[in-house]
Chains A and B, each alone.
Chain A
Amino acid sequence: MTRFLLRRFMWFAITLFTVVTISFFLMRSVRGGPFDTDRALNEAVRINIEARYHLDWPLWKQYAHYVGPFNLDRHGPEFLGGDGSDLFGGVLTGDFGPSFRYRDYTVNDIIAQSLPISALLGTVAMMWALALGITTGMLSALRRGSGLDISLRLAATGGIALPNFVIAGFLVILFVFLVPLFPVAGWGSLRHMLLPGFALGAPFAAYISRLTRTGMLETLSQDHIRTAWAKGLTPRLVIMRHALKGGILPVVSYLGPATAGILTGSLVIEKIFYIPGTGSHFVNSALNRDYTLSMGVTILFTVLVYSLNLVVDLAYTLLDPRIKLEDE
């Protein structure tokens, strides 16, 4: 267990370092900069701005300053030529720097404001995707070949095929304009969360439904289920306690990628429903050449996806006694 975690942590550090380095240099190599607008800057003013944001430094120095742990500007440590008033800084100290586009905020501020919102939206989407997906998948499996099974599978195929913004459009027309139940956009109350949560979770619900159906069908045909039936257990016990546990294993392994998908997929939903989450920064920061925010969000998502996958691996061992971590 400890060895497993240690090894994963080592890989995590290597992955993160690679992601930081590659995205830093990729971002800087893109044409256009954070201060380009349709009104060009006066040359003298441009020099002042570049100096203030250290964009006039050589790239390696900007990189070292960004990663840390030492602050390289004029307040940095004395052995690097600074006055020693502010020794440390950079990603290694947990400081992602000031945003270039939202200049009244640090990247840390923006993430602290927006991440709980995205997390909440993602949780709502995931919960309903699981609830709907597992229920319909089970029903499909139990009534295999029936009309219900066929229509549920059809709906699932539709759900996978339709992008979430199309679903969002339908939902808005239905539940905002035809039957005015929910606010059209914004964030703040539970009522604001339902439509975007539904739209965001729909494709995942469909996929989970298919996975559950396949998993259940396989488990239902196994010996221990037959034994359970033979022992005379009630259908509820057989299905809920014995079959479901094996049946949803594929779903559990899908949770890691699904969570990543919900995180990165939320950007479209966040734009359509005007939700101040992290997802929209993922794209906007790149378009704005907001170097620091873009890096911050990339690092955040790397950490999230990596740790969620780890959690899934751990959960797997809880559900399936045959799987042991040491076997990795």
Chain B
Amino acid sequence: MLASRAPSRLRQALPYLLLALVLAGVMTLTRGARLQRADLVINNGTEVTTLDPATVTGVPEGRVIKSIFEGLCSKHPATLAPVPGMAQSWQISPDGLTYTFSIRRGARWSNADPVTAHDFVYSWERFLNPETAAEYAYQLWYVKGARAYTTTADEEGRPALSFDTVGIRAPDDHTLVVELEAPTPFFMDLMAFYPLFPVNRRNIESAKSEHPDSWRLEWLRPENIVTNGPFRVVERRVNDRIRLERNPDYWDADNVALSSIDVLAVEQTVTALNMYLTGGVDVLYTVPASVIPRLLPREDFTPGPYLGTYYYKVNVTRPPMNDVRVRRALALTIDRTAICQKITKSGQIPSWTWVPPNIPGYEGAAMEHAATLAENVKEAKRLLVEAGFGPDGQDFPTIEILYNTSEAHRDIAEVIASSWRNNLGIDAKLLNQEWKVYLDVQHNLGFDVCRAAWIGDYVDPNTFADMFVTGGENNNTGWGSPRYDELIAAAAVELDPARRMATLRAAEEILMEEMPILPIYTYVTQNLLNPRLGGFLPNIQDEHFPKYWYWKSDEELNAERAAHPDRGQLVDAPGPAAGLYSPAAQRAGAAR
């Protein structure tokens, strides 16, 4: 009915009308969407969960938060030791229990408010408040009364205790006093840890009064968020970019060179590499494994030691892995060299320790092993016979290797399975699970052997050691030892650094005798960066600070290449030929 009556003129005009509509749409949508490229573009690898320092835990989030907020301390870009940030100086009482910080005079928020000690009291109250649900809340539980404050909530989830019970006080605007439960040797390192960075009270309170329902999101919007770090947020789009700009109110803005940074969230490593190769990105933190052999000779790819261990967890509650001899046999026969040379390929180091090397002052405790795989296999066979199995795996049940879906993990699992099959005659099946299921299975001990990895939160063996206390959230092996727990607890309150390291080593010795975990290799960093970028210093936590970054001039770049001819094959170094230096560096240069 409708069709036969429809005017034919309309029918003929329809395609043109639609075309015009689409064109108009394209025009409106592309207009204004275009942003000029920032001074520097980094790929963060994934979209950040949130910019709220109190509620994050991930590395990508940390990278952005460290650029826009600053805590009492920040870190030295090479040694990672705490250096003064919002606190100009601090005093520690002789018993190690009371910390007194002097807040920097002249430190400002990006809304021009001064940063005061009260900001820290407010921020840490918020951080510990059960309603905030901060994932890292326990990082501040070293403070007196803090644990009880977070864990005691009323019916509605609000804190049941008064904040006065917590040992955090601000006697005046520039003094912050913190009392601890027990001496905590790494407390100053925590002060440079991003979850403890302050937030602006006025920022949050005004969002609360203007948007009673949605203030939790509103205060973080680029147009509302108030920060105190070297950069501020000007624009955000999910899975596109976070645009940062230099914060002119930052106390040390004189030493910041870059005026804008784009933080991308490219998840496909191949896409990210293509963008790097065509000059769209300047810094990549990971590269596709398949191209590593081709990147290694280049000057812009220089893998270095990284504070992380790739390992397998063993479920010690399941026979036959409940027998320590079986676990040792499994650990001894993994062909670590093959994994590092044929699969990971960028200089990963075969590992026999749980705590990775290169922690200053700490000598790791390696598991007992021989120099060659053949000798290790002989010993492993002996252990298997001792445990009641045949030297060639007779009577040994098939075990399952659980890993999360990923090509690299599968390749490693295949090498390990064939190591066990060829050397011990043990049959191992591969089982891959999607990430969240894998986590769930791991948490419920539903596996035999399972891939895992751990990257240290701070440069101290404790970040590895305290994982395996009995019932620890990340233990997930069913293993526990009262002696081990005692040593970890003793180390936590030991003030003498040498004795503390010795205690932690004793703990690692227990772990490497009992083998609830099979260490495989130590990670290396995989940064690919524009050779023109200056101030990007290698360190074992792979932590980098855009505050110190600058573009080298042709002059500086050439001088550096001439001084280090062994760095590898020269590649393009796009960027300003005249370099880009901070105002302070420019003045110093002019004076020279």
| Chain A residues within 8 Å of B, Cβ to Cβ | 1, 30-33, 35-45, 47-49, 51-52, 74-75, 85-86, 98, 101-106, 109-110, 113-114, 116-117, 119-120, 123-124, 127, 172, 176-177, 180, 183-190, 271-274, 276, 280, 287-289, 317-321, 323-326
Contact = CB atoms under 8 A, between A and B. Distances in A.
A2 B14 CA distance: 22
Contact of A31 (B130, B267, B440, B476): B440
Contacts of A38: 439, 452-453
A124 B29 CA distance: 13
A31 B50 contact: no
Contacts of B443: 36, 40
Contacts of A176: 274, 278
Contacts, number: 185
Nearest to B138: A42
A120 B25 contact: yes
B52 interface: yes
B14 A318 contact: yes
Interface in B25-75: 25-26, 29-30, 33-35, 47, 49-52, 55, 57-58
B571 interface: no
B267 A271 contact: yes
Nearest to A123: B22
Contact of A287 (B6, B133, B236, B435): B435
A52 B157 contact: yes
Contacts of B527: none
Given A45-B133, A188-B34, A324 B1 contact: yes
Contact of B238 (A33, A48, A190, A276): A276
B498 interface: no
A140 B583 CA distance: 67
8 contacts: A30-B436, A41-B473, A45-B133, A52-B131, A183-B278, A185-B274, A287-B434, A326-B1
Contacts of A109: 217
A33 B47 contact: no
A198 to B, nearest CB: 15
B2 interface: yes
Contact of A1 (B1, B220, B264, B268): B1
B138 A189 contact: no
B4 interface: yes
Query: Which 3 A-B pairs have CB atoms at the shortest separation, nearest pair first?
Result: A32-B436, A40-B473, A317-B3
Nearest to B217: A104
Contact of B436 (A33, A114, A123): A33
A106 B214 contact: yes
B212 interface: yes
A110 B30 contact: no
B275 A274 contact: yes
Given A98-B216, A102-B238, A324-B3, 17 more contacts: A31-B436, A32-B437, A40-B476, A44-B130, A74-B156, A86-B213, A103-B49, A104-B51, A105-B217, A106-B217, A117-B29, A185-B274, A188-B35, A274-B264, A276-B238, A288-B436, A325-B1
A36 B439 contact: yes
A323 B239 contact: no
A322 to B, nearest CB: 8
Contact of B271 (A31, A37, A273, A326): A273
A183 B437 contact: no
Contacts of A177: 278
A36 B57 CA distance: 12
B135 A185 contact: no
B9 interface: no
Contacts of B3: 317-318, 320-321, 323-324
A123 B130 CA distance: 47
Interface in B107-132: 130-132
Which of A31, A33, A288 has the most chain B CB atoms closer than 10 A to its own CB? Answer: A31
Nearest to B153: A48
Interface string B264-290: 101110010011011010000000000
Given A32-B437, A324-B3, A120 B133 contact: no
Contact of B33 (A75, A105, A188): A188
Contacts of B157: 48, 51-52
Nearest to A102: B238
B473 A42 contact: yes
Nearest to B136: A45
A180 B437 CA distance: 43
Interface string B425-469: 000000000111101110100000000110000000000000000
A45 B33 contact: no
A171 to B, nearest CB: 12
B2 A105 contact: no
Contacts of B452: 38
Nearest to A120: B29
A1 to B, nearest CB: 5
Contacts of A272: 268, 271
A98 B239 contact: no
B134 interface: yes
Given A40-B474, A274-B264, A113 B133 contact: no
A277 to B, nearest CB: 8
B539 interface: no
Contacts of B35: 188
B30 A190 contact: yes
A317 B2 contact: yes
A104 B1 contact: no
B131 A274 contact: no
A264 B3 CA distance: 32
Contacts of A40: 443, 473-474, 476
B271 A185 contact: yes
B376 interface: no
Given A45-B135, A317-B2, A317-B3, A189 B34 contact: yes
B238 A110 contact: yes
B368 interface: no
A323 to B, nearest CB: 7
Interface in B192-223: 212-214, 216-217, 220-221
A188 B55 CA distance: 31
B52 A104 contact: yes
A107 to B, nearest CB: 11
A77 B226 CA distance: 34
Given A40-B474, A104-B220, A318-B11, A45 B137 contact: yes
B240 interface: yes
A288 to B, nearest CB: 8
B592 interface: no
Contacts of B4: 321, 324
B280 A184 contact: yes
B26 A39 contact: no
Contacts of B236: 104
Nearest to B273: A184
